[in-house]
Structure 1
């Protein structure tokens, strides 16, 4: 950890899995819920590594399905932090499908998932700041800050409606 915080690279996670018949519908397409579950697991691991504490999912801002994933595809879930607040962390999960026979790889999904770190009593716990090492990380952080401001605005509006 640097004086400015922990680098994104310190908590980056990749999990991989071959998609089998148990993961698919009658057409051979992998269920979206299977992809969402694995994306959440990868994001949770990245957030736990950063916080060095248990984390829970707070929200999924988006899960964009750009390409179908089929039975027999090898799928990678690449997760890295993009933003850190006091107790919350936004994680970007990129889902890459690969045809293991042809070697063709394509991004099929991207998700932004927010987690909160918990202390031993299950209460929100402060997390270390992020140290940005590249221009791309800084650009993603700026976009993440905009998404976080939008989330706060949405929560405020929801509270007013109650």
Structure 2
């Protein structure tokens, strides 16, 4: 039933295998969680296999500690013809109590693929309804524009042989 699951939430405990030598969860592990939640959200929206094409604006705001209750929330904030942009918040708290803290935020983009040739395929359109929706959609587009600018800069450095 594609086009109906706009939001998705995953919850789990940070495990000993997730942490670095400082006792905090590795940034790469957090990025894996973001990708997994994004994939589940993209498949839920599109109804078909989807792949990650970009992550933009990722910010690690606060550390996640071993045994923290982690929440990864995705929210669809923009659709293109075959693409889906999700705002993702990763938060954590002590499962025995305490305040929930925002730990990471980003925008992740997936493209839906057909099951035959692996080519991009159309996704159900989503239109902002509220003012908050419009702000999130604008934010997602700004983040992705910044990412495109970074890509262009890297390409210039590569072309000049500086990277």
Q: State the TM-score, normalizing by the size of structure 1.
A: 0.85
Specify every segment of 5 or more residues in structure 2 that has no aligned partner in the other structure, as ranges. Answer: none
**Deviation, structure 1 residue 17:** 1.2
Contact 1:43 1:92 in 2 (8 A): no
- Match for 1:43 among 38, 42, 65? 38
1:139 aligns with 2:132: no
Query: What secondary structure does 1:25 align onto?
Result: coil
Q: Distance in 1 between matches of 2:16 and 2:145?
A: 41
* Structure 1 residue aligned with 2:103: 108
Q: Deviations over 1:86-114 (max 9, x none)?
A: 11111111001011122321111001111
Specify every segment of 5 or more residues in structure 1 that has no aligned partner in the other structure, as ranges. Answer: none
Q: Distance in 2 between matches of 1:145 and 1:27?
A: 35
Task: Number of aligned residue pairs: give it.
Answer: 156
* Structure 2 residue aligned with 1:53: 48
Query: What secondary structure does 2:110 align onto?
Result: strand
RMSD of equivalent CA atoms: 2.2
* Structure 2 residue aligned with 1:119: 114
Q: State the TM-score, normalizing by the size of structure 2.
A: 0.84
* Structure 2 residue aligned with 1:30: 25
* Structure 2 residue aligned with 1:129: 125
